[in-house]
Structure 1
Amino acid sequence: MTTDEARETAATPADIPRLFVQFVQAGDYAGLASLYEPDAVLALPPGEQTRGNTAIAEVFRQVFTERTPGGEGSQLQPVLLSGDLALTSTRMSDGRVTAEIARRQPDGSWRWAIDNPSM
């Protein structure tokens, strides 16, 4: 596991999906939580919403104990950027498409504020 001091942050919105897969594969759920704003919203479990980066990390811990994220064959779609907001999206190898809204943080890094993984 990586310490907070050594953990990479997202310098661009496109870094977030890459770091997401990296942290999940490493079992670094604190790192995963760091990709979300403290009051972020996740559309998981299906039909529900999870709020807060710590709660989001726990939902993903549960999801990924059953399966790993679809990294192979997944394609990051072009990032749409408007000032301090960005829309990120990944086309998964099984055809599902994610949609996330990222926001530039005061330190210049990027974090997701809203995540709809379409799982």
Structure 2
Amino acid sequence: MARQRAQCPEDLNRLVLERLNAGDVDGLVELYEPDAVLATPAGPVVGHVAIRAAYEQIVAGSPQFAPGAAQPPVRNGDLALTSVLLAGGGATVEVARRQPDGSWRWIIDQPNLGA
């Protein structure tokens, strides 16, 4: 299945929300570089295999996630800091990198800093 790639850092937060709500674990993993780090309540996980396992648990009960207020990314060359203010309080913070094909993927993801 061909999935939309993030053509700019702003696309990443929209795509993760769409894929979370669709239960699309493979699509979620595609948003990360192969050796990316994802913070989880149990501690950070590294790489596609561990990120896949984390998302399998997250979407197992088919929860629905509400959109937050995406903040403008802060860019420095091929890196971007993305963030979202969550509807229930707290925020997400991520670091994305431009890929050789021009798309963007996360390399570090902290999905919930708490309120």
TM-score when normalising by structure 1:
0.87
Equivalent of residue 18 in structure 2, options 4, 16, 22: 22
Deviation at 1:17, TM superposition (A): 0.6
Deviations 1:88-114 (A, max 9, x none): 001101111110000000010000000
Specify the SS of the correspondent of 2:72: coil
Alpha-carbon distance in 2 for matches of 1:106, 1:83: 13
| Offset of residue 65 of structure 1 | 2.5
Q: Mind listing any 5+ residue stretches in structure 1 that lack a counterpart?
A: none
Q: Is 1:82 aligned to residue 76 of structure 2?
A: yes
Which secondary structure does the structure 1 equivalent of 2:65 belong to?
coil
1:33–1:53 contact (8 Å) kept in structure 2: yes
Judging by fraction of residues, say which structure has more strand.
2
Q: CA deviation at 1:68?
A: 2.8
Do structure 1's residue 58 and structure 2's residue 53 form an aligned pair?
yes
Which residue of 1 is the match for residue 110 of structure 2?
A: 116
Q: How many residues align?
A: 113
User: How far apart are residue 61 of structure 1 and its match?
Assistant: 2.0
AA in 2 matched with 1:116: Q
